[in-house]
Amino acid sequence: MKTTSLEDLKDKTLGKVGSQRRDRYELELRVEILSEQIKMLRKEQNLTQEQLGKLVGVQRAQISKLENNSKNVTVGTMLKVFRALNATINFRIERGDAPLA
């Protein structure tokens, strides 16, 4: 039985790291994980979407979109949500081979 690594499967179906399709996939995966974390933290703190929205200054619908991996959420809103949940998020920007932040 031949085994194939997940990375090899991604390379074959999505393209190599750095290709447009692969990068889009990886970004969507990261946003999905952030969305799940926001929902988990909100529930751990026994907050409704409406209550969290009030803490952040947005409508409940915006929190719902954020938790459901909407593409129309700003980084600023996401940062406010994590602050309201008493959590921090770190972004790392890389250019070429050297990390910038």
In tens, the pLDDT along 37-76 reads 999 999 999 999 999 999 999 999 999 988 987 767 777 8
pTM of the predicted structure, to 2 decimals: 0.66
* Residue 86: predicted pLDDT: 93
Cα angle value 92/88/61 (rounded, 5°): 100
What tokens does 54 get?
């009030």
**Average pLDDT for residues 17-21, to the nearest whole number?**
84
Percent of the chain with pLDDT over 90: 33
Domains of the chain in sequence order: 17-99 (1.10.260.40)
Residue 30: pLDDT band (50, 70, 90) is: confident
| Residue 20 phi, psi (nearest 5) | -60, -45
Q: Which residues of 1-101 form beta strands (DSSP E)? A: 94-95, 98-99
Q: How far apart are the first and last CA of the chain?
A: 43
